[in-house]
Structure 1
């Protein structure tokens, strides 16, 4: 699709989502809510997922190191995919497009599509479900809060988060297939 056509499609999508994005971003005006979503967003930068990966040797024994390494490789591939899409598609962040949407946390970069935080949150949730389901009562609520935080903080549109979640699921699924092929399970 030519860049101009893509830009027009994003502009249409931006307008369609502006009310919902604005409504969700208004929750950041409440100080405790803002604090919570900033915290979970920072955890979603990488600390939460490194911690879950490093728990694998404790939970799985020696095989846990292989699981943690596999997750690290999967996260690296996910970061490359996410960065490639983000720099090619160039969707402006909501607070840039609409001055009624506040940015309440400094962004890592200029563009919003897809949400890398959500991609990694869903991907690690799926990987956790496959190897350490007992951690899901912690990981799933954290992943949901991370996804919501991206819109509440004014950094993403809802569609950025949805596409990030779908990509995270697909990457985790592909990673699981690769593990089956390489290690036989």
Structure 2
């Protein structure tokens, strides 16, 4: 009998697990684990709060409406990714591969999509629109948050990519809506 070849999806999932494992191996270096754990904790909201505070210091009262707008999209984004997480119910990498070393406790049970990445991309795109002078800090911060999800063993690449796409769509629709109101 002829043995059946794994399908494209199975090959991708195998490749993605290998990539996640390779990224996670970086966390075995204590300084890498500490650095990305700090980035992850800052990505919980504190880092964005600091950046928005700087925006408030720079632009004063003119920054209030953009900050409120970003907070509204944060609530919408949270509802969006929680709904998708419950529907998809994708297990975290640690549940699928015992070689993953979890460096930070997950904030919730499921992996897909990455809420940290969704918020990072949403905030970054809006910051680039409202305060491009802060892009030099927002863009690298968002990229580090996305990388932290893999390195800390919390997410697969597809979780991060879909989180980024959702964050981009959320920011794009929010900015288009805001512009239409002006």
- TM-score w.r.t. length of structure 2: 0.91
Rg larger for: 2
Whether the aligned pair in 2 keeps the contact of 1:128 and 1:136 (CA below 8 Å) is: yes
Match of 1:123 in 2: 122
1:57-106 Cα distance to aligned partner (Å, 9 max, x none): 32223221111111100111011101110111111111111111111111
1:97-152 Cα distance to aligned partner (Å, 9 max, x none): 11111111111111110000011111111011001111111111111111000000
Closer, same or farther in 2 for the Cα pair 1:11/1:54, shift >3 Å?
farther
Q: What root-mean-square deviation, in Å, do the aligned CA atoms of Structure 1 and Structure 2 show?
A: 1.6
1:1-51 Cα distance to aligned partner (Å, 9 max, x none): xxxxxxxx9877543311100000000000000000000000000111122
For residues 16 and 85 of structure 1, the distance between their equivalents in structure 2, rounded to whole angstroms, comes to 23
Match of 1:41 in 2: 40
Matched, 1:144 2:147: no
For residues 70 and 105 of structure 2, the distance between their equivalents in structure 1, rounded to whole angstroms, comes to 27
Match of 2:50 in 1: 51
- Runs of at least 4 residues off by over 3 Å: 9-14
For residues 52 and 73 of structure 1, the distance between their equivalents in structure 2, rounded to whole angstroms, comes to 17
Aligned residue pairs total: 175
Match of 1:5 in 2: none
For residues 159 and 66 of structure 2, the distance between their equivalents in structure 1, rounded to whole angstroms, comes to 29
Match of 1:89 in 2: 88
For residues 10 and 120 of structure 1, the distance between their equivalents in structure 2, rounded to whole angstroms, comes to 27
- TM-score w.r.t. length of structure 1: 0.89
Q: Any stretches of 5+ residues in structure 1 without a counterpart?
A: 1-8
For residues 9 and 89 of structure 2, the distance between their equivalents in structure 1, rounded to whole angstroms, comes to 9
Which secondary structure state, in structure 2, belongs to the residue aligned with residue 75 of structure 1?
helix
Q: Any stretches of 5+ residues in structure 2 without a counterpart?
A: 1-7
